[in-house]
């Protein structure tokens, strides 16, 4: 355990200041300190994408990022995508396409898809495959997931 430091950041649009052990991983901080449990714990070694969040708009595996790196940044978790009581179009498309089975990979998949659509609103199949290549689905719902993302073009 390292000496605590103070970090300032925003999470899902809200400004926060916290004292943290800088060596702690962002995934643990999100789930245990911020109590945002939509971000899932999977492999914890950067292989599955279950822990994906947006840090300054970029998708990152939060299991690999020390919480100290959150200082001065904007964090968006799956809980922050819905706006004014309305689901993000990607969330809605996953429901419409039944693109979840157990749902464990779903938050990470949706975060990766949202990041893709933000930087490239009309992705090709190859773009979608590449953007989701770091997200594993143990239920094998890849076909429905990719179709859901494809249907979000321009949204
Ligand atoms: S839990 Fe982070 S990549 Fe698997
Ligand atoms: S829906 Fe079960 S892991 Fe993807």
State whether the Cα torsion 153-53-77-145 is positive or negative. positive
Task: Report residue 2's pLDDT band, with 50, 70 and 90 as the boundaries.
Answer: confident
Range(s) of the chain covered by CATH 1.10.150.120: 89-150
By alpha-carbon position, which residue is closest to atom 3 of ligand 1?
46
Percent of the chain residues topping a pLDDT of 90? 98
Ligand 1 pocket check for 63: Cβ under 6 Å? yes
Ligand 1 atom at shortest distance from the alpha carbon of 42: 1
Cα torsion 78, 135, 63, 74: sign = negative
The class (CATH top level) of 89-150 is: mainly alpha
Read off the pTM: 0.97
Where are the CATH 3.10.20.30 domain residues in the chain? 5-80
Residue 84, pLDDT score: 93
Residue 32 pLDDT: 98
User: How many whole angstroms separate alpha carbon 123 and alpha carbon 150?
Assistant: 7
Mean pLDDT score, 86-109: 97
Residue 1 is predicted with a pLDDT of 66
The maximal CA–CA distance of the chain, rounded, in angstroms, is: 48
Hey, what CATH topology would domain 5-80 get?
Answer: Ubiquitin-like (UB roll) (3.10.20)
């Amino acid at each position: 355990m390292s000496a605590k430091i103070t970090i300032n950041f925003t999470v899902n649009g809200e400004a926060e200041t916290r004292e943290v052990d800088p060596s702690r991983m962002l995934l643990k901080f999100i789930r245990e300190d911020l109590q945002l449990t939509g971000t899932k714990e999977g492999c914890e070694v950067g292989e599955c994408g279950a822990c994906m969040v947006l840090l300054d708009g970029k998708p990152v595996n939060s299991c690999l990022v020390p919480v100290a790196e959150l200082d001065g940044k904007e964090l968006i978790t799956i809980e922050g995508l819905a706006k004014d009581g309305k689901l993000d179009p990607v969330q809605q498309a996953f429901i419409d396409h039944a693109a979840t089975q157990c749902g464990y990979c779903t938050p990470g998949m949706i975060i990766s898809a949202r990041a893709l659509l933000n930087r490239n609103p009309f992705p090709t199949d190859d773009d979608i495959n590449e953007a989701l290549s770091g997200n594993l689905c143990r239920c094998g719902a890849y076909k429905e997931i990719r179709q859901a993302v494809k249907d979000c073009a321009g949204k």
